[in-house]
Amino acid sequence: MGTHDTRPDSVANAPTIDRGAWPLPARAVDHLVLDSRRTTVAYYAGVALVVAGLFVTRLLPCVDYPQHLALADVARRLINPAAPEHAEYQLNYFTYNGLFHVLVARLSAVVSIELAGRLVVAASLLGTAVAVVALVRVLRRPPAHAAFFTPILFSFSVGWGFVNYVLATAIALWALVFVARAAIRPSLGAACAVGALGMLCAFAHVLAMLILCATAAALAIELAWRAVPREGPIGRRALRVLAGVACAGLPLLLGCAYCVAVNDRQYAWDPNMYRDPTMEGSAPPIWQKVVFFGAFATDLYRDASDQVVLWLAMLAMGGAAVLAWRERRAGARAPEQPPPVVGLFLVALLGYLATPSVVLGTHLIFQRLAQWVILGGLLAAPRWSSAAEGRARVWTLRIGMAAGMNAVLHCALFGWETADASSVIDELPPGRAVSAVIWEPWSIAFRNNTLAHLSGYYAARKHGRWAFAFARYLSVPVRFREHSQPAWPASGWEFSADDYDPRCKYARAFPLVIVKAPERLPVDASGEGPVRKLIFKQDAGAVRLLSHHGRYWAFDSAGLPDDGVF
């Protein structure tokens, strides 16, 4: 399986099911390890560092994550039929964007809501990393190639806090493992596993389900064709290929039917929710998608070091392909057995290049496909030559380790930067209605607006209400009841602190105000006066200071007039 390592710690010759031209790993553990104990430890060390980054900071550097965490906390309370939240929210399990909320809500009955959310995100990343290894082992690609995925494990989608999609990605990858097994060796067990994981993926996120269907089709056709022996009548071979494709692909129709049914129901609720008249179908030109692939794929750290590590991984994969081509052209290398798996890479690359940024009113779509391009690339990358294999494997694993160290260091820096924000939330009274007015929502470590939804952390930690809640969207399982949310403001301040009007009716519905003051703001001896004047203007003296740490402040603005711009 991938190498002829004869060292005592080698697991390269782990048991396989050798029935035909394509042997499969026999034991569950054989799907989870690489070609040797040292390689396995090195790979999972890099993964562990990425996951550890989620636990070195109290606030996660994931833009939308606080919103989903707050919704999960509401879902936990809605499980109780007598909860007062039923007057404002409704819990809808028939959706394709709800698995994260349901899991966190149930888990938070045992641990705190914030630890529950962190554990589910961590499990999503770990599950993804392990699924990559399993896929590599089933497809008989060089096991160390799995480390090429580590630089994009903390992906664009994680940084933006698309946690339902991140969880669904892990499920989709495991579904692909069983798709591969079903295409190579059709069985009822494999088909049932594909169907069950497909339904779970459909409940987690509809985009991941679409990607799963496209990549599964490419993978099933390629593997079924390769796995069938060339001997025998053509008709019999064609039937065996068709049986493999059907076993691998048809069970996914259950998840597809579920998504169609959900869409039919939710579209009737509000057709306008599924379109963005100003940006629908917009996308950068293809040349920008290629040249700036690193930025679209990660775009996380302010120093762009994540893109550097990712480009190193891509250069290594490209170098392996160029070297193999030159050696074959010179007659120095025989055709590789088994050959690389290219179908998934071609489908993922085509999807990345052809998909717009805004589809059905949902933003940042094609950027999420970059992770699948890297997955396809590592499956399509050829083996290194015997002379270069040992050194290449070492450097491949070092790339994975570098990605892990980079992730945990940036998360630790973010934790240091946002400790004051977390302290302010800790000091606020529970069960209130809060809004956040955030200048400069980015940080030194992360370039995205990671603090834009800071009020969601208060809602989750203190079990309160929060402004601009995602409960207004149809696809999440926790939704506002009709007419239960405050009327929308004429000019929102979620992404523009300068637009905050303390007297508008929406602001009056959320009198607790968390502030991150701009760095440029001149301050007096206490710093409080200029902040009050900047935020509350003529009402600066009428609000009560609740907490202050560094650039973060919290005020109680209850009792202000509501005669501002609606």
Structural domain ending residue among the three candidates 412, 442, 469: 412
Among 211, 113, 109, 138, CA closest to 170: 211
Query: Residue 13: pLDDT band by 50, 70, 90 thresholds?
Result: very low
424 and 405, same structural domain? no
495 and 380, same structural domain? no
Q: Is the pLDDT of residue 363 over 90?
A: no
Structural domain ending residue among the three candidates 361, 393, 412: 412
485 and 393, same structural domain? no
Query: Residue 405: pLDDT band by 50, 70, 90 thresholds?
Result: very high
At residue 208, the 3 state secondary structure works out as helix
- From residue 124, alpha-carbon distances to 133, 155, 306, 431 in Å are 15, 12, 20, 30
441 and 381, same structural domain? no
Mean per-residue pLDDT, 212-218:
97
Structural domain ending residue among the three candidates 359, 388, 412: 412
Query: Residue 21: pLDDT band by 50, 70, 90 thresholds?
Result: low
Angle at the Cα of 72 from the Cα atoms of 91 and 435, rounded to 5 degrees = 105
pLDDT of residue 9: 41
Q: Is the pLDDT of residue 15 over 70?
A: no
Q: Is the pLDDT of residue 544 over 50?
A: yes
Distance CA 536, CA 530 (A): 10
61 and 164, same structural domain? yes
131 and 68, same structural domain? yes
Mean pLDDT score of the chain, rounded to an integer? 90
pLDDT of residue 340: 92
Among 246, 169, 317, 241, CA closest to 22: 241
327 and 294, same structural domain? yes
pLDDT of residue 5: 41
- From residue 185, alpha-carbon distances to 1, 27, 138 in Å are 17, 15, 11
How many domains does the structure of the chain reveal? Answer: 2
Query: Residue 513: pLDDT band by 50, 70, 90 thresholds?
Result: very high
pLDDT of residue 19: 45
More confidently predicted of 398 and 519: 398
311-340 pLDDT per residue, tens: 999 999 999 898 888 888 887 777 777 889
Query: Residue 1: pLDDT band by 50, 70, 90 thresholds?
Result: very low
227 and 198, same structural domain? yes
pLDDT of residue 8: 38
Query: Residue 512: pLDDT band by 50, 70, 90 thresholds?
Result: very high
Q: Residue 257: inside a domain, yes or no?
A: yes
Mean per-residue pLDDT, 393-407:
95
Mean per-residue pLDDT, 95-110:
95
At residue 247, the 3 state secondary structure works out as helix
Q: Which residue has the tokens 């690489």?
A: 34
461-502 pLDDT per residue, tens: 999 999 999 999 888 999 999 888 888 898 899 999 999 999
122-149 pLDDT per residue, tens: 999 999 999 999 999 999 999 999 999 9
More confidently predicted of 7 and 371: 371
pLDDT of residue 516: 95
Whole-model pTM?
0.93
Q: Residue 10: inside a domain, yes or no?
A: no
Q: Residue 280: inside a domain, yes or no?
A: no
Domain with 515, as residue range(s), is 420-556
pLDDT of residue 276: 67
pLDDT of residue 4: 38
Q: Residue 426: inside a domain, yes or no?
A: yes
396 and 338, same structural domain? yes
306 and 382, same structural domain? yes
Q: Which two tokens stand for residue 506?
A: 């929406």
170 and 81, same structural domain? yes
For the chain, percent of residues with pLDDT exceeding 90: 73
Q: Which residue has the tokens 């394709």?
A: 96
Q: Residue 473: inside a domain, yes or no?
A: yes
Q: Residue 21: inside a domain, yes or no?
A: no
- Strand 433-438 relative to strand 465-466, pairing: parallel
Distance CA 551, CA 442 (A): 13
Mean per-residue pLDDT, 300-311:
94
Contacts of 428 (CB under 8 A, 6+ apart): 434, 458, 462, 512, 514, 546, 547, 554
Mean per-residue pLDDT, 154-159:
94
473 and 376, same structural domain? no
281-292 pLDDT per residue, tens: 788 999 999 999
Query: Residue 157: pLDDT band by 50, 70, 90 thresholds?
Result: very high
Q: Residue 396: inside a domain, yes or no?
A: yes
Query: Residue 3: pLDDT band by 50, 70, 90 thresholds?
Result: very low
Q: Residue 12: inside a domain, yes or no?
A: no
Q: Is the pLDDT of residue 239 over 70?
A: yes
Distance CA 477, CA 92 (A): 5
